[in-house]
Amino acid sequence: MLFSFLFPNRKVDSMVPGNQTKFAEFILMRFSEKPNQQWPFFGLFLGMYLVTVVGNLLIMLAIGSDSHLHTPMYFFLSNLSFVDIGAVSITVSKMLVSIMTQNKAIPYVDCLVQMSFFMVFAALDNFLLTAMAYDCFVAICHPLHYAVIMTPRLCCLLVLLSWITSFLNSILHSLMVTRLSFCTDHEIQHFFCELTEVLKFSCSDTLINYILLYFISGLLAFLCFTGILFSYNQICPSILKVPSAKGKYKAFSTCVSHLSVVSLFYGTLFGVYLSSSVIHSSWESTVVSAMCAVVTPMLNPFIYTLRNKDIKDALRRLISRAASSQ
């Protein structure tokens, strides 16, 4: 009875004895089934996709081309920009192709690939934001030892561990999905293949899948969020101890962009999971998920460029070099 409450969508083989089939594709949901409304959505998401890719790509190019930005903070930021490009490309590009071709089907293998890479990029966002919080903590609380602690080797190690952990987590869940069989009804109420949505259509016993999903995801999210809270719990008192107002502003400006991105990331993430328990409309649930999967990566470049003088200066130099070379 407890398992039925925790896993309401779990299915067991005996519940659907004759309803299993070998199939080659899933059906993805659209934001609208009316042809005259699909193209406005296509234009909207194409614009958001291009803004996300171009914005994050410019940040990566600016950081890579400017020696002044070859620091741990901007090293993590360039990786975060790459992850945001990957996350939006793996989800939105398929939806745009679906609207253009008027084909909502996604092959089974493509669905698994999309699901796997989305899990990788979602976990990487979490890890990189935690690493950036640690960088802010060292820069503000231990400024004299910053160069000794935040060495290039440590930064590369943190990013490498983030990638390895994210891939191992994704591979585990993907392998657990491949052992499942699926029912004849496989129309996913989402615009991309997401693990929980895929599990809903399994005719096999998915108890182990749900246990692993909630345990591992909850553990990783708890560890990362706790690490960020601990960092800022040390940062805030350190800033308040700075004697001058100018010094306090300079110390606070070091981490304000990161704090904004963290608030946006976890705010939308918690909003998606809280809304899933109160929203019963599949269309409304898809819109909320789009906020997390599409809008957040799009806003990150604006947050870091609007409040960061170094990034803006680097972008000006990059654009001026590109203009003079023509």
Does 63 reside within a domain?
A: yes
Tell me, what's the pLDDT at 75? 94
> What Å distances lie between residue 283 and 191, 280, 308, CA to CA?
10, 9, 37
CATH number at residue 36: 1.20.1070.10
Q: Chain centroid to CA 49: how far?
A: 14
3-state class (DSSP) for residue 103: coil
Does 179 reside within a domain?
A: yes
Tell me, what's the pLDDT at 21? 43
Q: Minimal CA–CA distance to 292: which of 263, 319, 269? A: 269
Does 68 reside within a domain?
A: yes
Domain count along the chain: 1
pLDDT per position as a tens digit, 66-121:
888 889 999 999 999 999 999 999 988 888 888 888 777 888 888 899 999 999 99
Is the pLDDT assigned to residue 290 strictly greater than 80? no
- Binned at pLDDT 50, 70 and 90, residue 286 comes out as low
Is the pLDDT assigned to residue 35 strictly greater than 90? no
187-188 and 25-28 as β-strands: parallel, antiparallel, unpaired?
Answer: parallel
Does 5 reside within a domain?
A: no
Domain span at residue 237 reads 21-321
Q: Minimal CA–CA distance to 301: which of 289, 312, 288? A: 312
Does 304 reside within a domain?
A: yes
Does 215 reside within a domain?
A: yes
Does 110 reside within a domain?
A: yes
Is the pLDDT assigned to residue 10 strictly greater than 50? no
Does 98 reside within a domain?
A: yes
